[in-house]
Amino acid sequence: SLDEVPNLVNVLRGEMSIVGPRPTVPSQVERYTERQRGRLSVRPGITGWAQVNGRTGLDWNERIELDLWYIDNRSARLDAEILKRTVAVVLSGEGVYRGATPAWRDPDEP
């Protein structure tokens, strides 16, 4: 979608990848366990394994676990599979973001 255009600029600058874990806001990173901090070992991406395996339907821990699995298993073949699935997800409109989901809502917010 059009809101991803700034992310493409970040890819060109080398700050993001096309494929990788989605960027996380600092308030979420503050709550990461030591294991979950492994998610920060790679550049964030525009699309990723969690996005093509449930997207916003997944809770916080499920998404992070999928991202960690991706980091441990990343390859050109896996990236190609993620890109192929991303096209299918985008065309279907499945899992479209419509505001904070309960799985991602800040627990300190009312």
For residue 107, being part of any structural domain is answered with no
For residue 50, being part of any structural domain is answered with yes
What is the total count of domains within the chain?
A: 1
Please write the tens of the pLDDT for every residue from 52-89: 998 778 888 999 999 999 999 999 999 999 999 999 98
Query: What is the three-state SS of 26-61?
Result: HHHHCCCCCCHHHHHHCCCEEECCCCCCCHHHCCHH
Given this model, what pLDDT does residue 110 score? 47
For residue 99, being part of any structural domain is answered with no
Please write the tens of the pLDDT for every residue from 6-55: 888 999 999 999 999 999 889 989 999 999 999 999 999 999 999 999 87
DSSP per residue over 54-93, as a string? TGGGS-HHHHHHHHHHHHHH--HHHHHHHHHHHHHHHHHT
For residue 87, being part of any structural domain is answered with yes
Domain that holds residue 69: 2-92
For residue 106, being part of any structural domain is answered with no
